[in-house]
């Protein structure tokens, strides 16, 4: 057995403490697997005296993570500080510059500076590993970078944010509103007091930018992502989805198209029978479409101290064994510049919910406007929003697939269209026409359908 691998951990919260615990718990197996004894020898944290859920009594404490990063008392630096700038960025740069391999869970840092950091790691011939930065305990980075090395990847998409998935799952299972579920998630600690970063889709976007680079051999371009959050998803949408055999997930999707690479984050209809639809609650899931393997789906925990630590420790073990890959699979200098495919060119099916104040004749007017743009409809149906039917009783009401006459003085009713594959801009144009016609009394709810 060669020498001890001395690990320094900066940021000792839930994940950092779990990393220390796992490295101790699995010490014997890891030494046997990697040929080296792996030991946390130093940490850095804001509060030296804080009680932590790990035995760190024999470990040197650094007040400054940057000092830890360059210390000759460690051989490998684990960055768990978080954030795209500040101490996180500085300490990772310093560690790499000092020729130390780095393991990080920091998606924001990678989304913003991943390429420079990867180039620095390559220049110094050390590893920069970040399995924990995307989808927590799911080994998706390894799968894309190594497991599918013989594939050309066409699309990668996933449920990448546990907060959003928890909220959407609760809405579906408990027939609660978005607002109620968000409050509950905040109470349980699954959502922040200011939940924008999660529910607005920004966290998913950071992770998606990393997956896109790994999957397609392109540069990280987190600014070239079309992002919609889940704030506008209503219980009416959730129920209509269920009736139609779909489930609504916040997906991050990266896809090669003739126009470049689409990167989009938005609420999405996925068929209930797909593997990705089974990821409920705080679970994450990622599906990869590739030429050789066709479709591969990984489902597992996207967050949590031990699950995230599992990914960190796997990276540490690879480094201990001497494995060195280019951080994004291909050497950074050879990554192609990502060409952004415009969202208006996106091709796919659409779920469209319209609020129609005056039903008679409305189906005809709507169908005509769609036909003018060459949009082919799979179905058009009336759907009563739940608040018109009193509280839901477990199962949603079956959709009525025949056109009904509006009762005199009735409130606006929901009309739901499912389109066959078409272009985003045609849908937007047709909906503008329908709004201008006065057929609908508010802008439409549009949710993209992701084909298997």
The footprint of its own copies (CB under 8 A) covers 18, 22-23, 25-26, 29-30, 32-34, 131, 137-139, 142-143, 146-152, 217, 273-275, 277-280, 285, 290-301, 304, 306-307, 309-310, 312-314, 316-318, 321-326, 329-331, 334
Q: Which residues, listed in sequence order, are joined to residue 301 by a DSSP beta bridge?
A: 283
**Phi-psi region for residue 147, left (φ > 0), alpha (ψ -120 to 50) or beta?**
alpha
Q: Which residues, listed in sequence order, are joined to residue 353 by a DSSP beta bridge?
A: 416, 445
Pick between residue 316 and residue 356 the one whose CB is nearest to its own copies: 316
Pick between residue 149 and residue 411 the one whose CB is nearest to its own copies: 149
In the complex, minimum distance from the CB of residue 178 to its own copies, in angstroms, rounded to a whole number: 23
Pick between residue 126 and residue 446 the one whose CB is nearest to its own copies: 126
In the complex, minimum distance from the CB of residue 30 to its own copies, in angstroms, rounded to a whole number: 7
The response to whether 17 counts as a known ligand-binding position is yes
Residue 202 structure tokens: 């920004």
The response to whether 132 counts as a known ligand-binding position is no
The response to whether 13 counts as a known ligand-binding position is yes
CA distances from 123 to 79, 87, 101, 116, 333 (A): 20, 22, 12, 10, 11
Give CA–CA dist 43/141, Å, rounded: 26
Q: Catalytic pick from 50, 90, 142, 207?
A: 207
Q: DSSP 3-state assignment of 296?
A: strand
Of 163, 144, 146, 164, residue with least CA distance to 155: 144
226-238 in b/e form (b: 16+ CB < 10 A) is bbbbbeebbbbbb
The response to whether 16 counts as a known ligand-binding position is yes
The response to whether 295 counts as a known ligand-binding position is no
Q: DSSP 3-state assignment of 102?
A: strand
Q: Is residue 433 packed enough to be buried (19+ CB in 10 Å), middle (13-18) or exposed (0-12)?
A: middle
How many Cα atoms are found within 13 Å in the side-chain-facing hemisphere of 203? 27
Pick between residue 33 and residue 400 the one whose CB is nearest to its own copies: 33
Give CA–CA dist 382/10, Å, rounded: 56
In the complex, minimum distance from the CB of residue 328 to its own copies, in angstroms, rounded to a whole number: 10
In the complex, minimum distance from the CB of residue 288 to its own copies, in angstroms, rounded to a whole number: 9
Q: Verify whether residue 272 is a known catalytic residue.
A: no
Pick between residue 293 and residue 399 the one whose CB is nearest to its own copies: 293
In the complex, minimum distance from the CB of residue 141 to its own copies, in angstroms, rounded to a whole number: 9
Pick between residue 183 and residue 271 the one whose CB is nearest to its own copies: 271
The gap from C-alpha 234 to its chain's centroid, in whole angstroms, comes to 21
Give CA–CA dist 135/283, Å, rounded: 9
Residue 425 structure tokens: 């801009």
The response to whether 93 counts as a known ligand-binding position is no
In the complex, minimum distance from the CB of residue 151 to its own copies, in angstroms, rounded to a whole number: 6
The response to whether 411 counts as a known ligand-binding position is no
Residues designated catalytic: 207
Q: Which residues are annotated as a binding site for NADP(+)?
A: 10-17
Q: Which residues are annotated as a binding site for L-homoserine?
A: 192
Q: Which residues are annotated as a binding site for NADPH?
A: 107
């Amino acid at each position: 057995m060669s020498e001890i691998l001395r690990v320094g951990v900066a940021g000792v919260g839930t994940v950092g403490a779990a990393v220390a615990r796992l490295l101790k718990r699995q010490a014997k197996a890891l030494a046997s697997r990697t040929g080296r004894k792996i030991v946390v020898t130093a940490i850095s944290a804001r509060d030296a005296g804080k009680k932590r859920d790990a035995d760190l009594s024999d470990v040197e404490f650094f007040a400054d993570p940057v000092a830890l990063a360059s210390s000759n008392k460690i051989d490998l630096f684990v960055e768990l500080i978080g954030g795209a700038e500040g101490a996180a960025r500085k300490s990772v740069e310093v560690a790499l510059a000092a020729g130390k391999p780095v393991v990080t869970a920091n998606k924001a840092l990678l989304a913003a500076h991943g390429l420079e950091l990867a180039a620095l790691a390559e220049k110094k011939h050390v590893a920069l590993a970040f399995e924990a930065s995307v989808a927590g305990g799911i080994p998706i980075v390894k799968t894309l970078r190594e497991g599918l090395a013989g594939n050309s990847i066409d699309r990668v998409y996933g449920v990448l944010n546990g907060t959003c998935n928890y909220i959407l799952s609760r809405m579906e299972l408990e027939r609660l509103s978005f607002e109620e579920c968000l409050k509950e998630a905040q109470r349980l600690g699954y959502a922040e007091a200011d939940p924008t970063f999660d529910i607005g889709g920004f966290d998913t976007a950071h992770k998606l930018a990393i997956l896109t680079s790994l999957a397609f051999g392109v540069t990280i371009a987190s600014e070239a992502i079309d992002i919609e959050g889940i704030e506008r998803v209503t219980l009416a949408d959730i129920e209509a989805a269920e009736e139609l055999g779909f489930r609504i997930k916040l997906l991050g999707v990266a896809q090669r198209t003739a126009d470049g690479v689409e990167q989009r984050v938005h609420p999405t209809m996925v068929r209930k029978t797909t593997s990705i639809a089974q990821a409920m609650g705080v679970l994450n899931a990622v599906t990869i479409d590739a030429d050789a393997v066709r479709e591969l789906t990984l489902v597992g925990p996207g967050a949590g101290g031990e699950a995230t630590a599992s990914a960190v420790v796997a990276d540490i073990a690879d480094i201990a064994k001497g494995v060195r890959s280019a951080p994004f699979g291909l050497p950074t200098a050879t990554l192609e510049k990502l060409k952004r495919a415009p969202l208006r060119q996106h091709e796919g099916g659409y779920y469209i919910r319209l609020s129609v104040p005056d039903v008679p004749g409305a189906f005809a007017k709507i169908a005509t406007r769609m036909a003018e743009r060459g949009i082919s409809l799979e179905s058009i149906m009336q759907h009563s929003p739940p608040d018109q039917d009193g509280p839901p009783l477990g199962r949603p009401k079956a959709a009525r697939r025949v056109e009904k006459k509006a009762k005199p003085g009735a409130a606006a009713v929901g009309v739901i269209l499912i389109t066959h594959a078409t272009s985003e801009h045609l849908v937007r144009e047709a909906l503008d026409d329908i709004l201008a016609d006065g057929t609908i009394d508010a802008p439409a709810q549009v949710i993209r359908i992701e084909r298997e």
